[in-house]
Amino acid sequence: MILFFDFDGTIIENRARYHRVHAHCLGKTPAVLSETEYWELKRSRIPEKEILRRHYPNVDCARYQRERELVIESTEFLAFDTLLPGAHETLRTLKANHTLILVTLRKNSKTAMREIQSFGLHELCSDIRIAAAGKDPVAKKIELIRHDCDPSSWVIGDTEADILAGKALHLTTCGVLSGIRKKECLQMLNPTHLVTSIGELLSLLR
């Protein structure tokens, strides 16, 4: 069986990076939102522009967004990403009986690959596929998955793009609550399964 895994929020924890980038892009304006507060807004699908309107009305939104695009995938801020607890062990166990393919949407494929390799994931995955999200992340995810999936394949991830791509290809979908979307957001997409972390896959696939 082929298991297509998302990367950010599914295998790695990136909330610290997002909050550090947020604070950086505010410039001289102090960050009034804690990491937890900011992340809960993101998990509830509140756009960055709306976060600024509510909490930082004096910040230049256009400047903030330009700076965010420049640094969100920079080596400086990627250093704050960490593996989610038990992720490496789970993938190593799954690898014994399944084909693992990593599919992720990143603008900078070189820094993405360096990060993936730094966590040793290239040794666990049969293939690693990276593409820029563009205006249609669902379509991009479908492109990364479709050419070698079969009806028994699973798509596992923490965002709408993962679940909707899997559903479009008539595959089993598994939403993961360790990332950037809260339970209510993923439930609305009606994934086949919904788990707290990828560690629960071990019992689901047994």
Q: How far is residue 188 from each of residues 159, 181, 195, 197, measured CA to CA in Å?
A: 12, 11, 14, 18
Residue 133 predicted with pLDDT over 90: no
Query: What is the CATH code for 2-13+82-204?
Result: 3.40.50.1000
Is 36 in a helix, a strand, or coil?
A: helix
Helices (H), 3-85: 15-25, 35-43, 48-55, 61-71, 75-78
pLDDT-derived band at 155 (thresholds 50, 70, 90) equals very high
List of residues 6+ apart from 113 with CB closer than 8 A = 128, 130
Mean pLDDT of all residues in 160-173:
97
Give the pLDDT of residue 148. 87
Nearest to 188 by CA among 157, 163, 153: 163
pLDDT-derived band at 206 (thresholds 50, 70, 90) equals confident
pLDDT-derived band at 107 (thresholds 50, 70, 90) equals very high
Q: What is the mean pLDDT of the chain?
A: 96
Residue 198 predicted with pLDDT over 90: yes
Is 194 in a helix, a strand, or coil?
A: strand
Q: And the tokens for 41? A: 């807004």
Mean pLDDT of all residues in 98-114:
97
What phi and psi, each to the nearest 5 degrees, are found at residue 137? Answer: -60, -30
d(CA 88, CA 48): 31
Query: How much of the chain exceeds pLDDT 90, in percent?
Result: 97
